[in-house]
Chain A
Amino acid sequence: MKRTSLIVFAVVCLIFVLSWVLKAGTIDGDNAIQDAFLVTLASFLTLAIMSFMYKDNAYYKFAEHLFVGVSAAYWMCVGFWSTIVGNLVPRLSEGLSEAFGVPYLGGELDFGFLTLPYPLLYFIPIILGAFLLFRLVPKVGWLSRWPLAFIVGTFAGLNLVRYLRSDFMSQISSTFVPLLVDWHGFGHFFANFSLAADGQFVAMFSNLVIFLGVVCGLIYFFFSKEHTGLFGKASRVGIWILMITFGASFGYTVMGRISLLVGRLTFLFKDWLGIIS
């Protein structure tokens, strides 16, 4: 480690301890020292992550590795307690349920022509789950493909119906909009012309944009025909509509991200430094 790095590290440690002590003096309660430590640590980790904007550095690496390690362990625990203990154990065994302190949900599955005990059915995921671990044994490693095939196949089948219903059928029926709204001739239209949001012109224009946008967008995503001639022009309109939509979405999402930044800065200036109230 270079001398400069050591000096910077020493200064950072000094500031950390100083901040901890000063913060502890401002917090009331029995856990003042512990709370002050946590607030200071959170602030320093926030600053460490933010230091990545300057360049990659040791403090960022520390925060990154801490975050990855803690979160990986956390998700492993969540997976065990919510999936295995929360879902599997209560349906598998009364004794195990008692041991883990979860209510036993055992019973029978009635198929009409066949009645099966619950635990029997739940041996299927246990077996498939065990197959995934067979990757560790090269001789039977090929068995780990079975649960993967089951997962991919099941979700492909489930999503086919879901997407066909929501993203295909519903979209089509929702696009059946009249291009003329409250139409009583051109005379009436121009006599009552208004740019009000609930006016006739805006309603008609909105419907026209929906209709053209959907049809031209579909043409852009049509891969069986070369985009030339009239088809190509419609495709260009489609991509323009997409880009305008993306532009609007960009601005909207950036505003959301700014609010996240504000939240983090509020933590630093309010909870840590106490500069703002």
Chain B
Amino acid sequence: MSPRRSTTGARPPVLCSCLLIPLVFFFLFLTNSASLAQGETEVVDTTATTPLAPVTSLLAQDFKYDDGDKLMLTWVPSIDDIPVTGRVTAYEVYQICNNGEPHRIAELLPEVSTFRVEELHRDSSYQFYVLALAEDASAQSVVTAAITPEQEWLKWNWLNLMVMTIVVCGAVMVFIKTATKGRKLFVRKIAGLEAVDEAIGRATEMGRPILYIPGINDMDDVQTLASLTILGHVAEQVANYDIKIRMPVARSLVMTAARETIKAGYQTAGRPDAYTDDMVSYITDEQFGYVAAVNGIMVREKPATVFLLGAFFAESLILAETGNSVGAIQIAGTARPAQLPFFIAACDFTLIGEELFAASAYLSDEPKALGSLKGQDVGKGIAMAAIIIGVTLTTLATLTGAEWMSSATELIRSWFVVTD
């Protein structure tokens, strides 16, 4: 019995301890939770009672080199504007015009410390203040002194751009003058352009028409202008050989300009009577509507030669493939890098980028065009020299760690950086 008793006698403390331990833990958990909750509440309470710090050193300045319609605001962000854990959720910029009522002009993200105010008037004065916003508070900065935007006549921060324009344009003018005086200017052979006359000759032999596509952009695109310059030479040859030219276009202004160009070509060839307006026809401005029509013309008229010169987009491969399928010799050219691969794959000759612009000079042999091309080469020479010097200095600065080299590199780089 005694053992049983002793056993039974030992049960109450075991049971008690079994119950007591969880109870103790539960009590501790509750106490801890309560203290944590209290702590959290305290933190919130503390934050709620702490006022939000406003932005400081708010300054409104005239925006340099503009038309007198902009001002620049700078400030030091609120000390409560700390990344990730900061209280500031946004900044609001308020504008007061001619001592009137303030109105909000912008809401900015935290950590922003500048803002350009636009669409202002030169005959009004403006004051600003910035409101820092938190979830539970807001703080207003001081109001800036009244300021009126000023107009500048020259953008002096574009001085380097002006110098470069003068240098390149000056070189063009010098070379044009040189060419006009009769001095022979050398331009290397361009394979695609050499083939232009061959292609026209082929159309003559086969007795089939030439199809000329000037791209789908309007007259505001330099590629279209370059294309029309080449068209002038092609039209002259076409008039000489008495073959048919067909030119569907996607822009009405291009149609007008192309008609003028072809007419001039026929006049130069001494055959103005052979020219008709039907040579150039407007199709539609719609990209793929135009493509569908040109494809139809290709398969029905089976041109011997297709010129694809100008600005092309997604239609480039469709046109080039259709031209290829009808057995036409194709000369393509565009300055759009994304379309060049398709022309290279599907056409016989391709003028890559700059070659399209060089075409006018090469084909016409005119002093103005040749001088322009040579002047552009001066620009390329400057670019090459600047890049070689810049890369060498940057590399040496990295290698040696010399301060003066880094400064020299930054100085040269600054000559080629154009800021707003």
Contact = CB atoms under 8 A, between A and B. Distances in A.
Contacts of A269: none
A168 B379 contact: yes
Contact of A224 (B160, B186, B355, B395): B186
Interface in A67-106: 67-68, 70-72, 74-75
Interface of B: 151, 160-161, 164-165, 168, 185-188, 190, 219-222, 225, 253, 256-257, 260, 282-286, 288-290, 292-293, 295-296, 299-300, 314, 317, 337-338, 340-342, 344-345, 352-355, 358, 362, 373-374, 377, 379-381, 383-384, 386-388, 390-391, 394-395, 397-399, 409, 412-413, 416-418
B289 A72 contact: yes
Contacts of B283: 68, 72
Nearest to A176: B390
Given A169-B160, A177-B391, A183-B399, A249 B341 contact: yes
Q: For chain B, what secondary structure do more than half of its interface residues adopt (helix, strand, loop), or is it mixed? A: helix
Contact of B219 (A151, A164, A243, A257): A151
A215 B352 CA distance: 16
Contacts, number: 176
A39 B395 CA distance: 62
B345 A250 contact: yes
Contacts of B345: 250
Contact of A215 (B295, B354, B387, B417): B387
A72 B416 contact: no
B74 to A, nearest CB: 26
Interface stretch (A7-15, A19-27, A29-37, A152-160): A152-160
A165 B418 contact: yes
Q: Which 8 A-B pairs rank lowest in CB-CB distance, beginning with the nearest?
A: A71-B286, A250-B341, A71-B289, A176-B390, A75-B285, A173-B416, A246-B341, A155-B220
A24 to B, nearest CB: 29
17 contacts: A55-B299, A56-B296, A56-B300, A67-B286, A70-B289, A71-B284, A72-B283, A72-B286, A148-B253, A168-B379, A172-B387, A175-B390, A178-B395, A179-B394, A221-B355, A253-B341, A257-B317
Size range of the interface on A? 35 or more
A60 to B, nearest CB: 7
Given A156-B222, A169-B160, A223-B190, 11 more contacts: A56-B299, A68-B284, A68-B290, A72-B285, A72-B289, A112-B151, A152-B257, A155-B219, A225-B186, A249-B337, A253-B341
A132 interface: yes
Interface in A163-222: 164-165, 168-173, 175-181, 183, 211, 214-215, 218-219, 221-222
B327 to A, nearest CB: 14
A226 interface: yes
A249 B190 CA distance: 24
Contacts of B284: 68, 71-72, 75
A223 B391 contact: no
A161 B288 CA distance: 32
A74 to B, nearest CB: 7
A237 interface: no
Contacts of A173: 390, 413, 416-417
B413 A164 contact: no
B285 A71 contact: yes
Contact of B338 (A74, A171, A249): A249
Contacts of B225: 152, 156
